[in-house]
Amino acid sequence: MPALATVPGKSAARVRDDILGRMPGTNAAYVAAVAFCGAIVAWALFAWGYQVVGGFGHTGIRRPTYWGFYIVNFVFWIGISHAGTLISAILRLTGANWRKPVTRAAEAITVFCLMIGGMFPLIHIGRVWLFYWMIPYPNERLLWPNFRSPLFWDLTAILTYLFGSLIYLYLPLIPDLAELARRSAGAKRRLYLFLSLGWTGSDRQWQALERAMKLMSLVILAIAVSVHSVVAYDFSMSVAPTWHNTIFAPYFVVGAIFSGIAALVLVMAVLRKLMCLEDYLREIHFVNLGKLLVLMSLIWLYFTFSEHLTTWYGNLPGEIRVFNIREHGLYGFLFWTMVACNFAIPFVLLGISRLRSIFTIALSSAAVLLGMWIERFLIVVPSLSTPYLPAAWGDYAPSWVELSITAGTFAAMALLYLLFVKAFPIIAIWEYDDGISAR
């Protein structure tokens, strides 16, 4: 049995009852929130259907900007998915005791973001009924799959990452599923009993579970780094201006960790407020994650400066044009907004201890998420809209279809979380209680 976390003034039994009591019921507010998010998701699905029937011409994606909001969202959501794997796995392996109330929230973020981000290759493919072209199936003419294509490895990496993340989320849920089965009746009890795999809380089961979680922590760390490196290779393997850069893989991984921490802080702040988890998600958890956020902000600034310095110093005509329109031209406002969101705001609010609080940490995290989405946009659009040949230059503006699908992804994230916290405790009960069994 692993070492237990404690809550001042509360016994293990009280903590168990407290956490399970925080799971939302089907009250009017909960139903309204699910209905609202579901309506936005339904509208996004309608927009996608409209695109499938009417063709890609209903989007703003056209020559020369063949990538737009869809690829921006793809990179953004895959980046946020690193919240669970990298943060939870690293903290679990290092034995950081303070991480126990936050790991499940982080692991859920990973699974949900991968489910959302993994949809965008299907959305962007246009003719979605040909999705099997991305699957490495054997064929007689040996024309597909193209093993030299980074897109092939995108699919392979994301599916592997999603499967591993589901296991990584499920393993720590097993003891809590047994406790939920004990407290349920009827079909819910049978479902929880089935998912708990006959858990009784014996020493042998605890030892096996601990070994499995540590093994998955090591495996998922390697997969997480490789996944966002593969996403970066989609850019760096091309010859588009400012993309053919060896720094892209570590740059993308750093950005993924950065945005993942910000997403976790924001989710924790919302859960703490709406589910009254002040006794469990305490200020120390936000402060520790805030310090990590400041560290990642500085690392992000270093990579961003290095990338732009090499472009500016090289002064190649094709690349300097993209540099100019991105820094002080058409996209100059977005660029400096990105710098303010990703560096200035978190560095000031979190770097000065007197300003550091749960509110300022959450505010900084919201700014970082906005800044990281803008960063993905500035990587994709300026380089594609300003290729090496001036005669091929063009503009990009998203249509209502792209905007609707983008809004639907954020609503889908909220909807998945609402359903998750309804069915499962968002904090691992067994981290506080050694008496959980299927009795």
The 10s digit of each residue's pLDDT in 271-291 is 888 888 888 888 888 998 899
Q: Domain residues for 273?
A: 20-134+150-295+399-430
User: Cβ(72)–Cβ(373) under 8 Å?
Assistant: yes
pLDDT tens digit sequence for 323-337:
999 988 889 999 999
Within a 10 A sphere around the Cβ of 246, how many other Cβ atoms? Answer: 10
Q: What is the mean pLDDT of residues 353-364?
A: 91
In a domain, 15, yes or no: no
CB neighbour list of residue 269: distance below 8 Å, 6 or more residues apart: 286, 358, 361, 362, 365
Q: What is the per-residue pLDDT for 50?
A: 93
Nearest CA-CA partner of 265 in 349, 164, 174? 349
Domain contains 379: no
Give the total number of structural domains in the chain: 1
Q: What is the model's pLDDT at position 206? A: 87
Asked whether 361 and 352 are in contact (CB, 8 A), the reply is no
For the cut 70, the answer to whether the pLDDT of residue 372 exceeds it is yes
Window from 98-112, 125-139, 410-424 with minimum mean pLDDT: 125-139
Asked if residue 288 is part of any domain, the answer here is: yes
CB atoms within 10 A of CB 306: 13
* Residue 26 belongs to some domain of the structure: yes
In a domain? residue 372: no
Q: Domain for residue 12, yes or no? A: no
More confident position, 62 or 431: 62
100: nearest Cα among 268, 212, 257, 254: 268
Residue 311 lies in a domain: no
Let me know if residue 328 belongs to a domain.
no
CATH of the domain at 89: 1.20.1630
**Residue 40's pLDDT band (cuts 50, 70, 90):** very high
Cβ contact 418:25 at 8 Å: no
Q: Predicted confidence band at 316 (pLDDT cuts at 50, 70, 90)?
A: confident
Tell me, what amino acid is at 21? G
